[in-house]
Amino acid sequence: MPDDRHDDEPASGGWLPPTGGDAPITPSPAEPSGAAGGWLPPSESSYVPPPPQPEPSYAPPPPRPPAASGWAGQPAPTYQQTNWRESHGRAGAALVGGIVGLVVCPIVFSVIAIVLGTQARREIDAAPERYGNRGQAQWGVNLGWIGLAFGIVLLVLALTGEIVLTPEG
């Protein structure tokens, strides 16, 4: 087997610090012989584990008895049932229809918003303990009327030739 070591590597295969020049490295008298670079294998080291920690000399405090009313001195919580009412689907649809009627297609979506909002208001007024979003239905109807008026004005202006609704190429 060929020897792949360089001239400056020790025969033991350990690491040596770099030196300046070509002076040979000699171990210091404080190092044991065979300790290349001051390192010893773990089996030859003089490591001594620390002594075990002493047990604590006190006992933990005993647990507190539970308080009669919640946390220490706090009154017990009281729970009240809230009156959650469900949302009427047509009221939300009327509001969305009113908004879309103002932005996209005023006449079609505005009429849908007016019809759905009026139906939803009628059903919410008949059962106010069940439904709770009458405001959405009312806003849907209001936006529907505004969009319908805007659509009619736009249609009249287009028919009289005051505005052109088709893009010119």
The runs of H, that is alpha helices, within the chain are 89-103, 106-126, 134-159
DSSP code for 10: -
pTM exceeds 0.85: no
Give the model confidence (pLDDT) of 62-71 as tens digits.
887 665 555 6
Give the model confidence (pLDDT) of 11-60 as tens digits.
555 666 666 656 565 655 555 555 556 666 666 556 777 888 887 777 77
d(CA 122, CA 144): 16
